[in-house]
Structures are given as C-alpha cells and as structure tokens.
Structure 1
C-alpha cells in the first residue's frame, strides 16, 4: 500500500482547515459551505481559486500561510463564474471547429481539388505513427451510432467532405496546416496557430478544468495573438 501523505478529510474538517488559513465564513455560513462541498462542488476545486488572493506578510515581508480578505463566498462565486465560462467557451470552440471545416472546403474548392486526392496526399504526408493514430481515430467511428453508417460507406476512399466530419479537432488542425502549406496561404497558417489555442481551451472545457484559478499578472501560459487583440479592441 502506498504511503498516504494527505488523508481524506470530511467537509467539516476542511472548513476548519480553511479557517486556519485565514478564510472566513461571513458571506456563506460554515453549515452552508459544508452542504455546498458535499452536494455541489468538492474542496479541491473550490480551494484552487484561493490562488487569486494574496497572503499575509510577516515582519520580513515574506508570505505566511494565511489569506487576506478571503471569504468562502468569494471562492464559491469564482467556481460558478468558472462554470459559466466553460459553458461559453465550449460553444465558441465548437463554432470555431465548424467554421474551420467550412474554410477548408472553400479553399479546396477554390483550388479545383477533386476532394479525394487531397485526402490521400495528406495521409501520405504524415509520419508512420501519426498516420496510424489518425486512422485509428477514424476507425472509432465504426462503433458510433451517429457516424458508423457514413464511415462504412466511404471508408475505402474518403472524400474530403466526409473525411472532415469524421476527424477529431486535433486531426482537423493537422489537415488545416497541411492545406495552408499546400496553398501557401499566410492567412490559413495564422489561423492554424490561433486554432491550436482553441483546441487547448476546448479540451479544458471537455475535461471540466478550472480556468480562473490564478489570475495574477504574468501567469498566462501564452500571450494573446496580435490579431486576436486587434479584433477584441473593436468590441
């Protein structure tokens, strides 16, 4: 049996633990906080938002393990806001995926492709391992009630409009990058790198990850792209 360094605690035990860290229960009572953590959200997720708050400093200006002006109600609000953000972001990223497919089909049509050779050329351009992985992802459609019929009908020779409907977003982006290079399109290439960020956001939403558990300065993993900032500045 592995050594347990942090034993599992009850919700009531965790309330006392938070109190010892300077977290107050003025907005939400300890009793309601217990019910919230038992029925709505777990301590591990709720407590992650405490990183947004500063800690008290000792006489040497070094942080001690107590928070400044942090109430459990603030953590609860942040958890709810984070949930709403995930619901918004997942819808946005699904729209991005849809219009990426539309953009691809338009570019392919504008370059007078037949819709079949480009799929073959893309697969042949991949490394052995990457091609095997994508083909494995395609085969998973065989067991889907929603896509098995279309997969079985076209699996011997995918036209691009079917191919795109069966690929997961990561493979669609590989194909998008392939087409950007094939058509020497700077615009498509720029969109590809922006959509890589979108894929990360979509995956985080799908796995119910926390987005706003640390909003301190210089904590962003990636700086926003210039074109994104430019469009946001118009709002």
Structure 2
C-alpha cells in the first residue's frame, strides 16, 4: 500500500479511536448513574451490594483454582489513595465506583442484577464496550483484518435490526460483519449501549457532532481504497459498515429528540426491569409461623 494511503488510514484509525474513547467514557459514567438509580429504586444497602459481589468473585476464582483479593478492585493512584485508605474498611459502593476498573464495574453490575433479579438489555453489550475501549486506550490499530472470530453477543443482532431499518446490501453486510468481525461487533455494542445508557441530550449532541466530523474525514480519500487494484476489500467492508452504523445512530438520535421513534425502535431504549417474583399466596416465614416478629431487613 502506498505511503499516502497508510498515512491517511492512520489518521482515520486515530480519529476512530478518539470517538470510541469519547463514547465509552460516556457509557462508563452513565452505567454508574444507572447502577446508583437501581440501588435507590429497590432501597438497597450499598454495602451489601459489595459484600454480594465479593462473595461471587471468591466463588468464581475458587472454581478456577485461584484466590480472590477484594482489595485489588480498588485502583490506587495519587488521586485515589487517600480516600481508599480512609474508607476501605467499610467499603461503601461509591468508593468502589470511584476507584474500580470498567471490567470490575461490569462484574459488580452483573452481580447486582442477578441478586436483585433485574434484567438489563444493555448488559450483554458491555463486554464488547470494554474490549473496544481497552483497544482504543492502548492505541491498538483497529482497521485491520480480524485474526480471530468473534463470540456473538446475545442481544446484539436483535438490536441492530431495530437500528438498521433499510433493507440494503450494505445492511446485510454490516449484520454479517457484526457476527464475525471483532471491530464491527464491538463498535455496534458501543453505539447501542451509548444510545440506551446516555440520557443527556447535551452529551448525545456532542457525540453526534464528533460523528459527523469523523464521517467527513473518513470519506476524504475514499476513492483510493475503492480502487480494485488497492487490495482493500475487507477494509472497504469495515468502512462501509462503520459509515452505516454511524449514520444510523445519528438518525436515531434525531428521531429520538423529535419524539418520532417507531414503537420497535423504542426497544433500543428499553430500561432495566425486575423479574416477577413468586405469584400466588406467599407462605409465612418460619419466624411468623412460630409467632416471632422478624427483624428488620438490612
């Protein structure tokens, strides 16, 4: 490939990473907000949330023949060491949120969902978000042919079909790549998680501006790669899929702000819901059957 091609592609790859870091930063913040709102919704004890999480982690590590260090989830730095030293003994949930990695945050959120019987349609997207955030933050080149097959995310195909409403060859190709190409799979996870989690119109508007700027830059020398002699068939497929995904999310946000989403498209915004508890008459507790008053729950 000509040096000018490589230079142009390097710039596109860099600007894509910048966009990804912006969106995944929004997602990480919004996930903490959602987590906090769910804890408040069920009047949960934040300390118990951490105790449950640590118990789950110990069991997970034990199954793999390893020991779990709960203090290792708290990332110490010049900005966090003071608060960690002050509050680590009691471990309030806010301390965990302030100092944990995105991976630990996702695992703790999973523990909370399971223990409190919540279902969040966005949860399955978060691992793709984490993988792409890590790749972008470590300045990995993204626009490369995949060396491994991706493990499809449970809800991604369903949500993508709600987002990509036009029946075209590019849509079909994008759906196929989302099942096979790690970049397209994880990038779709980022876009859909951002749409679901980020409620601030201002934050979404700034991202749309950045998307439009990136799309303009991406197409500046598009004809170079479409030359049949360039040998860039897979790259063209990736770029076409990225363009379709980005233009579709821009249009989705426009319809969202104008309140004209279809009923099907609104499923992309579905919020966490709690699984129904036992139906029918509930059996009295052992304490009630013995005539003793139960102690207040934590």
Q: State the TM-score, normalizing by the size of structure 1.
A: 0.60
Q: Please, which of 79, 99, 104 is the counterpart of residue 171 of structure 1?
A: 104
Structure 1 equivalent of residue 73 of structure 2: 137
Counterpart in the other structure of 1:111 = 42
* Residue 25 (structure 2) pairs with residue 94 (structure 1): yes
**Closer/same/farther in 2, CA of residues 134 and 193 from structure 1, 3 Å limit:** farther
Q: 1:197 to 1:123 in 2, by over 3 A?
A: same
Deviation at 1:183, TM superposition (A): 2.5
Query: Over residues 145-164 of structure 1, what are the superposed CA-to-partner deviations in whole Å (9 max), with x where a residue is unaligned?
Result: 11112111110011112221
Shift in CA distance, 90/104, structure 1 to aligned 2, threshold 3 Å: same
Pair 1:201-2:120 in alignment: no
Once the 2 structures are TM-superposed, how far is the Cα of residue 81 of structure 1 from its aligned partner?
0.3
Superposed displacement of residue 208, structure 1: 0.7
Distance 1:156 1:85 in 2: 41
Q: 1:99 to 1:158 in 2, by over 3 A?
A: same
Task: State how 1:1-235 maps to structure 2 within 5 Å.
Answer: 70-127=1-58, 129=61, 132-138=68-74, 140-141=75-76, 144-186=77-119, 188=120, 190-214=121-145, 221=150, 225=156, 226-231=158-163, 233=248, 235=251
Q: Is the 8 A contact 1:116 1:158 kept in 2?
A: yes
- List gaps (5 residues or longer) in structure 1: 1-69
Using CA pairs under 8 Å that are at least 6 residues apart, name the structure with larger relative contact order, 1 or 2. 2
Paired residue total? 159
The two structures, once aligned, show a CA RMSD in angstroms of: 2.5
> Deviations 1:19-38 (Å, cap 9, x if unpaired)?
xxxxxxxxxxxxxxxxxxxx
- 1:100-139 deviation per Cα after TM superposition (whole angstroms, max 9, x unaligned): 111101001101112212211211222263772452232x
Separation in structure 1 between the aligned mates of residue 72 and residue 85 of structure 2, nearest angstrom: 14
- Label 1:137 to 1:116 Cα distance change in 2 as closer, same or farther (>3 A): closer
Considering only CA atoms, is the larger Rg found in Structure 1 or Structure 2?
Answer: 1
Aligned-partner Cα distance in 1 for 2:49–2:87: 15
- What residue ranges of structure 2 are gaps of 5+ in the alignment? 164-244, 252-298
Q: Aligned equivalents of 2:126 and 2:141: distance in 1? A: 20
* Cα distance, 1:207 vs structure 2: 1.2
TM-score (norm 2): 0.48
How many angstroms apart in 2 are the aligned matches of 1:165 and 1:176?
14
